[in-house]
Chain A
Amino acid sequence: MKFENINKTFSYKNGLNVKLLNNISFEINSGEITSILASAGSGKTTLLKIICGLETADSPIKQESKFCFIPSKPSSFPWLNVKENILFANENLDSVSINSLIKAVGLDGYENHYPNNKSLGFRFRISLARALASNPKVLALDEPFASMDQRTKFEILQLIVDLNKLQKTTFLFATSNLCEALLVSHTTFLMKKESTGVLLSRKTEYQSDNVFERVRSDNYSKYLADEENLAKGFATQQSFTISL
């Protein structure tokens, strides 16, 4: 899936025009996890929303397949239980499919529970199951781990890896955290403020499907310790591969 020349300009009432995205181009491979790594205010959320059809680019992009958006803040509806939240996305799902979705995100036994007063991880799992119920081509996650604790974050990262491995779900997630991008993404695109043209990318090859094992690998700490060189690598090379 190729996205080419995405532009987005915000016009303010005082006549000020701010060009947030300037001819951004990148590619997502089906069945892979792709990250957009950028610092706050670089336009990664706007980019995701444009791709999902929630924002319009300066020149509208063609929307050929279903892209599903999961916002950074908890978005499971508090007036619906787990099952009803899933049915919101697809009313035609039979109970077998609903149960398999619930099981896939690790919520079996909680079908009739409401998201009120539940943890962020629980609510994120509901959002994930609900998004999967709509059979999307790509699942776009906007900084999903921003307010999660470390343990929940790793659990969800593992869930994403498992869903990608077992169901071949394609993920696109925006993050400002290098570790998150490094741990799960087959491809990471670096987006800087005022990025122009094709986004710089980095490929990651994984030896293990277990996120904790990836964390324990020597390469992980080496790459993180060498963050400066990693950034340099982004800056100098169009595409390079690391092994984890």
Chain B
Amino acid sequence: MNNYKHKLKLLSALLFVYIILFEFILEHNKFLPKPSILFESLFQIWKDYNLLSGILITAGIVYFSIVGSFILLWLLKNPIIKFFAKYSCGIEALQLFKSVPVFMLILIVSLWFDASESAKSVFIFLITFISLSRVLAKELSRTKKEYLEVAQNLNPEKLYAEVYWKSSLPSLLELAVRFQRVLWLIVLVYEFVSMSFGMGAIMRLALLYQDLSGIIIIGIIQVLLIWLGTVTLQFLKKKIAFWET
């Protein structure tokens, strides 16, 4: 709570400095717009760029991918965990994805499918699912030996779906919280490059029109959405995986 108060104080101080500096002292500059202009253009941008649809599409893809991948992983946990527990080479193969440059993949998929919305959705979903699977695979090898021994001894049927899964769940959800920020960036870059509709494409338009106020406002909205997403996911993590392993 103190941390939040501290951040809020810092933010208010920066805002105050910005208002004083750019509203009254540096009125004409090419770095930052006047606060009053920024405020006026907020409503204009909403209409001109069809911002609401853009927000819904981009945020929808980000959170649908996270929630969908998580549900799919939960549904397939038994065969997936059994596979990784049996074939450690599968874990190593999955870790290779960490080194694949996502930007290159974005360019390739954009070249293949142009501005296709469905291609974007499938691509982002796959990136999320593979990343979550990679963490799950890594966490399986970290499952406490004593939990595994007890499960093998008392109830081997629950070894995969219960012990391995529940042991990995806190880390998996922790990754979902952190990965959300990365995923926002990936989706924005994808939309920016391929010009498929969303906040990334809107930012490209704002850049083409050299609309500095627009870029800043869209940026602020993104920050707020990511913050809201982080708070929601952290709340869900505390509810779903309240334990520490």
Contact = CB atoms under 8 A, between A and B. Distances in A.
Interface residues of B, number: 20
Given A114-B243, A116-B243, A116-B244, A68 B146 contact: no
Interface residues of A, number: 23
Most B CB contacts (10 A, CB to CB) among A53, A72, A78, A134 go to A78
A134 B244 contact: no
Nearest to A134: B154
Interface in B126-157: 144-147, 149-150, 152-155
Contacts of B169: 79
Given A54-B153, A88-B154, A89-B154, A77 B146 contact: no
Given A78-B243, A114-B243, A116-B243, A71 B154 contact: no
Nearest to B166: A79
A71 B244 contact: no
A131 interface: yes
Interface in A69-95: 69-75, 77-79, 88-89
A152 B119 CA distance: 61
Given A52-B153, A54-B152, A130-B154, A78 B245 contact: yes
Nearest to A74: B146
Interface in A192-240: none
Contacts of B163: 77
Contacts of A69: 149-150, 153
Contact of A75 (B146, B155, B158, B244): B146
A79 B245 CA distance: 9
A89 B150 CA distance: 9
Contacts of B166: 77, 79
Contacts of A131: 154
Interface string B152-187: 111100100011001001000000000000000000
Interface in A101-146: 114, 116, 127, 130-131, 134
A202 to B, nearest CB: 29
Contacts of A134: 154
Given A71-B146, A88-B158, A78 B244 contact: yes
A88 B149 contact: no
Contacts of A49: 149
B155 A77 contact: no
Given A77-B163, A88-B158, A68 B244 contact: no
Residue of A89, A130, A131 ringed by the most chain B CB atoms within 10 A: A89
Given A88-B158, A89-B155, A71 B245 contact: no
Contacts of B244: 78, 116
Interface string A31-62: 00000000000000000010011100000000
A219 B182 CA distance: 68
Given A73-B144, A78-B243, A79-B166, A68 B153 contact: yes
A88 B155 contact: yes
A77 B245 CA distance: 9
A71 B243 contact: no
Interface string B61-86: 00000000000000000000000000
Interface of A: 49, 52-54, 68-75, 77-79, 88-89, 114, 116, 127, 130-131, 134
Nearest 10 CB-CB pairings of A with B: A78-B243, A71-B146, A75-B146, A89-B154, A79-B166, A75-B150, A73-B146, A69-B153, A79-B243, A116-B243
